[in-house]
Chains A and B, each alone.
Chain A
Amino acid sequence: MKILKILSIIFLIIGLSPLKSDEKNETLKNKILKNVRCLICQGQSVYDSESDFALSIKLIVDKKINKGLSEDQVYEFLRKKYGDWIIYDPKFNKNTYILWLLPILLFLFGGAIIYKKILKKNNEKFL
């Protein structure tokens, strides 16, 4: 009886593991599709669109994931075909450095102004 119980648990685990992997692939696929721009739609991701282009991209992403490609490899594939624009989260390169650095520079600039003001206030207090 005990052996039967152990065997049924083992079979259950083996039986469920492909389901789990399918679920994992589906989550990864949705994550990628939400980060891929539909190039022929206005402000829609491939995930949200039902256009022919989006449907083809959905199929190809599915195929690439089933082939064992990682998230970054799928993005790289799409980038090679359509350029950086297709990915919502752009890579740091010579075309996007202002986009990445400007918020940091503004933050530092604002921080410096606040720091200077506080320093000035403290000095006035002591005087």
Chain B
Amino acid sequence: MKNKFNLFIIVIFLSFCFIIFYKGLNTSNNYIPKVNEKKNIPTFKAKEFYSNNYINSEKIFEENSYYIVNIWASWCVPCRKEHPLLIGLSKNKSVKLIGLNYRDNLNNAKKFINELGNPYSKILIDSDGVLSVEFGAYGVPETFLIDKDKNIIKKFVGPINEEILEEIKTIIK
């Protein structure tokens, strides 16, 4: 009776270990952040891309409109891929696009915009990446959708695609 009980315990324990490891094999070990949590936009002061003047976040997000903050860089290949979609989105009047130029060479960034077009109503310089951390980003490209109450309601990690674009359009309708 005792041996049977011990065997039962061992089987249960081994099954438990098997399930844990099996689940672990199927889980990605890359960190996927919580992207759909409502967060307030950070308050900050940043340099403007063209004028080189400092501007406050209150001034940037002053209009009663949806905003999209897109983190990009000229050295980022996926940014090039998503750029035409951003150009298309910039024609939508219910949303304003703010670009955050991440750890970039200013001349290369200007070349990038001249070559591919400017979808942004404002571009801010984030030369040391601190501003992106304030937004909770950890790479490029990354896109944040901000509602009229100035809350970050969506975060898209990686380049924007048609599916994401449709999702954004549905929200801002």
Contacts and interface: CB of A to CB of B under 8 A. Distances in A.
A100 interface: no
Given A53-B129, A53-B139, A56-B128, A81 B34 contact: no
A50 B76 CA distance: 18
Interface string A78-95: 001111010000000000
A85 B31 contact: yes
Contact of A53 (B29, B134, B138): B138
Nearest to B39: A80
Q: What DSSP secondary structure best describes chain A's contact surface?
A: helix
Residue among B33, B34, B103, B129 with the highest chain A CB neighbour number at 10 A: B129
A59 interface: yes
A65 interface: no
A53 B130 CA distance: 9
Residue among A52, A57, A80, A85 with the highest chain B CB neighbour number at 10 A: A52
Interface string A15-58: 00000000000000000000001011010000000001101110
B129 A56 contact: yes
B133 interface: yes
Interface of A: 37, 39-40, 42, 52-53, 55-57, 59-60, 63, 80-83, 85
26 contacts: A37-B31, A39-B31, A39-B33, A39-B138, A40-B31, A40-B138, A40-B139, A52-B103, A52-B139, A53-B138, A53-B139, A55-B129, A56-B103, A56-B128, A56-B133, A60-B130, A60-B134, A63-B130, A80-B39, A81-B133, A81-B136, A82-B33, A82-B136, A82-B138, A85-B31, A85-B33
Pick the 4 closest A-B CB pairs, nearest first.
A56-B129, A81-B136, A53-B138, A39-B31
